Structure 1
Amino acid sequence: MVKAKVFILEKHFDGYPKETDFRLIEEELRPIRNGEFLAEAVYLSVDPYMRAYEPSLPLGEPFIGSQVAKVIESKHPKFPVGCYLIGQFGWRTHTISNGEILGIVGRGKAPQPVVKQALSLPLSVSLGAAGMVGNSAYFGFLELCKPKSGETVVVSGAAGGVGSLVGQIAKIKGCKVIGIAGSDDKGAWLVNELGFDYFINYKTDNVDEKLREYAPEGIDCYFDNVGGAVSSSVILQMNKYGRVSVCGAISGYNEQVRAKSIFKSVISKQLVMEGFLVLRWLDRWNEGIIQNVKWINEGKLKYREQVTEGFENMAVAFVDMLKGKNIGKSVVKV
């Protein structure tokens, strides 16, 4: 009999999540039936969206999230033993599935085998640059910002999994790129390794002054991962008909953030500002993954992972990511 380790949401978060908000249990799984398979987690993802969804989640249930899992037993013809898949199985080590998912994220979306092109990369990358994170950057930036060569692009949360990819895609498209993040180490990575043109440390720099210095002719595109005061500073310096893609607002997920009003600038400059959920492009899902993998193999797109060892450290990895301790995509290796 297989026993699964599962993290249960014990308490709703008050500010930043705490380890005591979760309870680790063991769950004895029944034998699989015809049309089912048993998957074992290999890597699990921790992402900012989990914090945004948490207030609406029921207590006493497994916490949400995606994972790369290996099928270790199967009575399902589409999921043979030995195949790897991406599943919205939540924070658990083993899952029995019939191939249909009714989770909060990806509602109604069945588990998908790891895209063939991504198998040339470490499996964990299917949770990052060759997965949902990569598609958030690819579609969220290209489809909403519609960048043109020579334009100036600003990316907040630039050293995270999504932001670091957006800035590199902007460079591929011939743009000038300014990254905003919270440490000089992150800035050195963005500029020296990823090819960003400029970096602003929002904790130590005057963001308004640095934006005027690095973008004297204004900002054309803004990819927003943080919201709050940083985003207000960027939007107030955007050019007429600028485009804003809103991927997240992590600065406000755990605490109240006071920001300058942006609406006069949005109206007077006739900005296009649009939020998105990446599942909008579910019918083109493999397109983004295949292109990102191609760019990785060509050396045009680089990724970095913050790997935490041990399933029991899921909550630690989650909180560290929300506090900005990660560089690149955060994953947990079981």
Structure 2
Amino acid sequence: MTKTAPADTDLFDPVTIGAWRLANRIVMAPLTRCRVNNDGVPGPLQATYYAQRAGAGLIISEATNISWQGRGYAFTPGIFTGAQVAGWQRVTEAVHEKQGKILCQLWHVGRYSHPSLQPGGVLPVAPSAIAPEGDTFTEQGFRKVPTPRALETEEIPDLVEQYRHAAECARRAGFDGVEIHAANCYLLDQFIRDSTNRRTDRYGGSIENRTRLVLDVVEAVTSVWSDGSRVGIRLAPVTPNTGNTPLDSNVMATYGYLIEKLNPFHPAYLHFIEGATGQSRQVPSGVSLEKLRALFQGPYMANNGYTLEMAKAARRSGTAELICFGRPFLANPDLVERFKKGAALAEAPRETWYGGDERGYTDWPAMTSEA
């Protein structure tokens, strides 16, 4: 793992991470856009959208459902049916034609769902029957999230199989690899934290038990790709739950244990949300993200509120191998070139972030030579 960088930043230089030779160290973060039909099949619009942004060294797809059960928001894509695989094939081919690299982010929302989004109108599942506060986006608009159903112990191997199957589908769809979404208080994170996991079986209680599912998923997913060199994982140790559910009671011990257990799988990278996702970069007293990431023996991907100057500083200090940018990619499909040339950045209004058509999605112009 790179520990130092030249004084003059290498942010725009090619780099080898895992199994990939990347054109630069800038990563397009996963960005939910809610623009596919409810069959979860990406179409030509998504192929255009991702191809426009192929100048990133690496693209991480929008969070992609591993099953119908895993779905928590309307109009989000899946990667578990033949039609979805074919739809994503059009996307990956379009990105590869532009010499880009793209991963599929594997997603199960757990308790952040609604019966109208679940097969048969059943309750969403979670490690424990603890109700989150807040709403989720359904075909009928925003609906209050109900108290989920706690998974039975015998159901959990099927969850692992959902991840394995989704990873196999992603491989068939032509993705360059996958990212396991174990962040942002979704299903895997719900198992990790003692605030959302009150189980008394082998998947609850001790840190070893609460991290068991994540490690089982990592093992299953890496088996699809032969090793970990095409598999990344995303963690968000201090992103708060919606409402009053607290963080894990011992962030350093819990996530420190998990990160050390990830090392034998040799993941391509560890993707960290530094602070609260899309919000503050501050962390609670007693938590050191620097100490946590130092436990990981592979490349580190930094995310949350980075500017170009912050990214350059991270490379000069050697504190991150890859830097993730999210919202700047919404309105700047050629973000890397704009960064290189010091051009002004456009900003996407919030009303274009989720849902809709090509407006505010694929109609952002590239930088002109005059700019």
TM-score between both structures, scaled by the size of structure 2: 0.27
From the two aligned structures, give the one with the greater strand fraction. Answer: 1
